[in-house]
Structure 1
Amino acid sequence: MAELTLDIAGDVVAACRKSSDEIVAAFGRAFEAQVEGLTIGEAATHDPAEPPAGFDGPGLAMLFMFGDRGAIALLPESAGLLPEWYTQPDATGAAKLDTLAQELGALVMPASHVAAATHAFRVESLAEALSRGGAAADAVHVPLALQCGDRQVRLSLIWPLATATDLVPESAAALASTAPASSTAELPKHLRSFLKVEVPVSVLLATQKQSVQDILGIVPGAIIKFDKSCDELLDLVVGDEPIAAGEVVKVGDKFGLRIRHMTLPQEQFVAVKLAAASSF
């Protein structure tokens, strides 16, 4: 993993400029807002004595983890872009925030720096969160401005944070701290070789049976309706066997699947027939 240092400031600004349209679209989708453009400022040293407007109040923190260090994007609540639901999001809202953090982490950082994990959460004080995260005295600050109608919404991208793990929500930290699976080094050699075999992985949107007559009637422009709800999770399939379920996410300009739970193999029972007792 590439080290998160001050030296990548120019690369971060370049990445933001290259991905400006996608950043605008990501915020528009997450908050169902009319975001029309993005202005990227020059990288400078963050001055805690003169923080950006709104840092003394609550807001949305989006954390991008690179090992134990992190970068953070801070959006003040006072800017007026954040919806009311973000303070106590339901499952759908939480998924939107998580997706936004994941997308933003991929868009604002150079290709050499891929975040190991991303988190999005509300904090009571942006300035206090930045301090608790261990922002370096010479931390880099890249100011971004989202154009929303006739007003600009300020977003601050700051790094490195030496104690970024202290900001990770308890639920996410508990999930990350679960015991890892046994090492593959403990497996027999022939099984370790098997792990290198590539198998097709697909995402199953929906299935249903249709008559041959209906299938023969399919033409360009026809719409086929499935019984599956748009809110249902999609299956991740390996070798015709579903192994997990998740929801669609957009990572940059790519399609992705955020895994929500694993799917246990279907149990198969074989009836055991006892031979009739022999008579003597």
Structure 2
Amino acid sequence: MDNQEELRRQRRALKEEIEAADRNAFQDDGAFKDREAFQDASGRLRDRSPAAPDLEMVLDIPVRITLEVGGTDMPIRDLLQLHQGAIVELDRQAGDALDVLVNGTLIARGEVVVVEDKLGIRLTEVVSPAERLQSLR
């Protein structure tokens, strides 16, 4: 907690220093006193603007990809009575596309394929960015 308080104190001190420098740079009419003061202020503003995103920083971050076949709702009583060989009816029709989720967000739909004795998925539809944003709300 002391470390956070120290960071807050330093942030406040820096903010006060910048505000004081800005007050000294302006004349009473709001104009800059000299060209150097203008360049200092514009340089600080430039430093605050966000840089273009650097995708290299995130390319190695692992994400969880999940394929959703379907789902159903059932009371706990029925869940506890399930046994080996029981059949649970899902809310999808046979042949419907599976949902492809990345970290829980729908990004595509596809169909199951077999590749060298392993299951895979062939993407048949990629969700538009607008749909992805809608699913987050």
Range class of TM-score, shorter chain: 0.5 to 0.7
Number of aligned pairs?
83
Task: Provide the aligned C-alpha RMSD in A.
Answer: 2.2
The 2-side partners of 1:268 and 1:246 are apart by 18
The answer to whether structure 1 residue 231 and structure 2 residue 95 are counterparts is yes
- Aligned-residue identity in percent: 29
User: 2:111·2:124 contact (CA, 8 Å) conserved in 1?
Assistant: yes
Q: Deviations over 1:160-219 (max 9, x none)?
A: xxxxxxxxxxxxxxxxxxxxxxxxxxx633x42112100111111111211111111111
Write the deviation string for residues 112-137 of structure 1: whole angstroms up to 9, x where unpaired: xxxxxxxxxxxxxxxxxxxxxxxxxx
Instruction: List gaps (5 residues or longer) in structure 1.
Output: 1-186, 271-280
User: Are positions 1:206 and 2:70 aligned together?
Assistant: yes
Match of 1:265 in 2: 132
TM-aligned CA distance change 1:212 to 1:246, over 3 Å: same
Q: 1:223 to 1:232 in 2, by over 3 A?
A: same
The aligned residue for residue 111 of structure 2 is: 247
Local SS of the residue matching 1:265: helix
The corresponding residue for 2:58 is 194
TM-score between the two structures when normalised by the length of structure 2: 0.54
> Which residue of structure 1 lines up, in the alignment, with residue 10 of structure 2?
none
Q: Secondary structure at the residue paired with 2:60?
A: coil
Deviations 1:144-173 (A, max 9, x none): xxxxxxxxxxxxxxxxxxxxxxxxxxxxxx
Output the CA distance in 2 between the equivalents of 1:219 and 1:232.
26
Q: Which residue type is aligned with residue 71 of structure 2?
A: T
Cα 1:226–1:268 change in 2 (3 A) is closer
User: What is the TM-score of this pair, normalised by structure 1?
Assistant: 0.28
After TM superposition, the runs of 4+ consecutive aligned structure 1 residues lying more than 4 A away are none
Distance 2:118 2:136 in 1: 41
User: What do the CA deviations read for 1:37-89 (whole angstroms, capped 9, x no partner)?
Assistant: xxxxxxxxxxxxxxxxxxxxxxxxxxxxxxxxxxxxxxxxxxxxxxxxxxxxx
Q: Secondary structure at the match of 1:246?
A: strand
The answer as to whether partners of 2:65 and 2:101 remain within 8 angstroms in 1 is yes
Report which of the two structures shows the higher radius of gyration computed on alpha carbons. 2
Greater share of helix residues, 1 or 2? Answer: 2
Q: 1:218 to 1:238 in 2, by over 3 A?
A: same
The residue matched to 1:235 in structure 2 has which SS? strand
Structure of higher RCO (CA pairs closer than 8 Å, 6+ residues apart): 1
- The match for 1:216 among 55, 80, 83 is 80
Gaps of 5+ in 2: 1-51
